[in-house]
Chains A and B, each alone.
Chain A
Amino acid sequence: MERKTKVSAEDGKQEIIITREFDLPLELLFRAYEEPGIIEQWMGTKVLKLENRKHGSWQFETSDPQGNIVFKADGVIHEFVPNSKITRTFEMANAPFGVQLELLQFESVTDETSKLSIHTIFESVALRDQMLKLPFAAGINMAHNRLQEIVNKLK
């Protein structure tokens, strides 16, 4: 399958650039970042607050089926230009990753396709590297949980 999502994380730099082309018109792509009800659907997180304006703030939270909070993040919106640009900060609660600056750029490619680039700047190279490794660590956790489920069924 074609690699639609690209990640650039150069050694020794405190930034990550993620780009992706979508089979969606620009307006629809932007709505996916604008409307709380839609964000909840694709990100699987609860949107507690989302003020889409300069100096607005946002707050997301995810709970497991038992009601324990497993993910909580918030930040402020520095710039909000519909169908073009969102500049915001991102900070995960109870996590040692510091605050990140996120620059999201939305572009139209054709009438039916669009492109998103997310440029994330971290406080340090070490924090960026740690964040890059997070899905890997989560993968170890998931692999373990899956194995645990299989083992439990054998009991």
Chain B
Amino acid sequence: MNLRRDVFQAIADPTRRAILLLVASQSMTAGAIAANFDSARPTVSKHLQILTECDLLEQEQSGREIYYHLNPKKMKEVADFVEVFRNMWDERFNKLEAVMKNYKPKK
């Protein structure tokens, strides 16, 4: 992943990483996101602003509410998530295979 400096700054904070994980599965309002944290509402708003400024989050107006979701251009939808998930299992199974080859009876 090619991380620009601003993206790096954005994900440098554990709360902001938690926000990304939260909105990864569904769009949420600032209020719904803030309800997941002990931090004061303005603090969460500041985090949302930073994530939005560096394009990791997108805002979408729906009636009176603003919903936040992951920017699909930056995070390219579920297919990419599945690919990362597949890679994790592939690496895990490669390790299994390598470990088990040590248990093979010598011919």
Known: A20-B89, A29-B100. A136 touches B3 (CB 8 A): no
Query: CA of A84 to CA of B63 in the docked complex: distance in angstroms?
Result: 55
| A-B contacts at CB below 8 angstroms, number | 99
Taking a contact as CB atoms under 8 Å apart, the answer to whether B21 and A24 are in contact is: no
Within the complex, what minimum Cβ distance (angstroms) separates A35 from chain B? 9
Of the candidates A9, A137, A143, which one forms a contact with B24 in the assembled complex, judged by CB atoms under 8 Å apart?
Answer: A137
Taking a contact as CB atoms under 8 Å apart, the answer to whether B84 and A135 are in contact is: yes
Q: Mark A117-155, 1 if CB is under 8 A from B, else 0.
A: 000000000100110111111011101100110000000
Using CB atoms, name the residue of chain A closest to B18: A137
B96 at the interface (CB under 8 A from A): yes
Total residues of chain B contacting the partner, CB 8 A: 33
Known: A7-B85, A126-B26. A140 touches B17 (CB 8 A): yes
Query: CA of A140 to CA of B101 in the docked complex: distance in angstroms?
Result: 32
Q: Mark B89-102, 1 if CB is under 8 A from A, else 0.
A: 11011011111110
Query: CA of A9 to CA of B95 in the docked complex: distance in angstroms?
Result: 23
Query: CA of A134 to CA of B103 in the docked complex: distance in angstroms?
Result: 32
Query: CA of A139 to CA of B8 in the docked complex: distance in angstroms?
Result: 13
B40 at the interface (CB under 8 A from A): no
Q: Which 5 A-B pairs have the closest CB atoms?
A: A5-B90, A135-B88, A7-B86, A42-B96, A137-B21
Point out residues on B near A: beta carbons under 8 Å. 1, 3, 8, 11-12, 17, 20-21, 24-26, 78, 80-82, 84-90, 92-93, 95-101, 103-104
Given contacts A42-B98, A144-B11, 12 further A-B contacts (CB under 8 A): A18-B89, A20-B89, A22-B96, A24-B97, A24-B100, A42-B92, A42-B96, A133-B25, A133-B81, A136-B84, A137-B24, A143-B11
